[in-house]
Amino acid sequence: MDRVDNYPTRLDHATPPIPRIEPTVWGTEAHGPLTAAALNNFAEQGYLIRGDAVGDDWLPPLHQELERLAVDLDHTDPRIIREPGGTVRSVFEPHLLSDLVAQVVELDTVLPVARQLLGSDVYIHQARINFMPGFTGTGFYWHSDFETWHAEDGMPAIRAVSCSIALTDNFSYNGSLMVMPGSHGTFFPSVGATPDNNFDTSLIRQEVGVPDQTVLTKAADRYGINQFTGPAGTALWFDANLLHGSGSNITPFPRSNVFLVFNSVQNPLSEPFAAATPRPEFLASRQVRALGSAAANVD
């Protein structure tokens, strides 16, 4: 039986933007800590910022864990992504490599928010630490995460959310994340087939699957651009399909964040929609195990 692809992308010709089919918010005020006003704001903007996702007391041990991971991991481990100059850019699966990061996933300030937004039990689709080191941290070009997760990982629907927790102060000038508020309501197909083993390069510099400059110009005119800044411990929650990116960091101040991507257990990965082979488990988990003890109080 041919499956339905609601978001065809990476074709050999340009196709028009596709209005989003799924809701952005699946749960209600009764299902978690976010108020109806916060949920409405997330539905409209595609993101929200919550202070104190991790308390100040968590930050020193988390920093030590980050340093340990960057040093302890075998330098050939594929989960370590390095900047062109050799400094560590990202480490994937930190929640499996560090008990402390695993505890962050299940904090009352984290897991219940993911369940409420996605209206179901959730699991970690992908987790990473982005180090964005001082002076050498290079940015991430504009993109929708869902475009990659749909094309290369086989994520069927837009029912996933990212939680980016600042582990260092995120200033406007040290490579902070930029978002186009409201852009999550439209899927922007890209042109060009996925090369084999695309992730060998896309995690350093994504070139395939990104909107072209005409689309980005129209999107920026329509939605504007907001920057995520905040003290260490602040969380940025953003919808899987929100256009975002970040500049490089030429300041002495690192911008380290831990990214936790929650996917609904109702939205398990299937075969890639626009790639020859699925990406490895550390980039896109196919082990759908509902997080936390109590089953979510949502249907």
Extract the runs of DSSP E, i.e. beta strands, from 51-176: 80-82, 88-92, 122-130, 140-143, 160-166
Token digits for 76? 């050939």
38 versus 183: smaller Cβ distance to ligand 6CS: 183
Residues that bind Fe ion (CB under 5 A): 145
93 versus 145: smaller Cβ distance to Fe ion: 145
Minimum distance of ligand 6CS from residue 284's CB (angstroms): 7
Q: How far apart are CA 259 and CA 88, in angstroms?
A: 15
Using CB positions, name the residue nearest to Fe ion: 145
Looking only at the bridges linking them, the beta strands covering 80-82 and 88-92 are antiparallel
Minimum distance of ligand 6CS from residue 2's CB (angstroms): 26
Nearest to 265 by CA among 127, 159, 154: 159
Query: Helix 111-118 and helix 36-45: axis angle, to 10°?
Result: 70
Minimum distance of ligand 6CS from residue 172's CB (angstroms): 20
Residues that bind ligand 6CS (CB under 6 A): 126, 128, 140, 143, 145, 148, 202, 206, 283
Residue 291 CA: distances (Å) to CA of 54, 58, 90, 144: 18, 21, 24, 25
Minimum distance of Fe ion from residue 90's CB (angstroms): 11
Q: Are the C-beta atoms of residues 282 and 69 closer than 8 Å to each other?
A: no
206 binds, among ligand 6CS, Fe ion, none (CB under 5 to 8 A by kind): ligand 6CS
131 versus 140: smaller Cβ distance to ligand 6CS: 140
What does the DSSP assignment read for 77-105? -TTEEE-TTSSEEEEE-HHHH-HHHHHHH
Using CB positions, name the residue nearest to ligand 6CS: 145
Minimum distance of ligand 6CS from residue 93's CB (angstroms): 12
31 versus 263: smaller Cβ distance to ligand 6CS: 263
38 versus 155: smaller Cβ distance to ligand 6CS: 155
120 versus 206: smaller Cβ distance to ligand 6CS: 206
Minimum distance of ligand 6CS from residue 51's CB (angstroms): 23
148 binds, among ligand 6CS, Fe ion, none (CB under 5 to 8 A by kind): ligand 6CS
Q: How far apart are CA 183 and CA 219, in angstroms?
A: 7
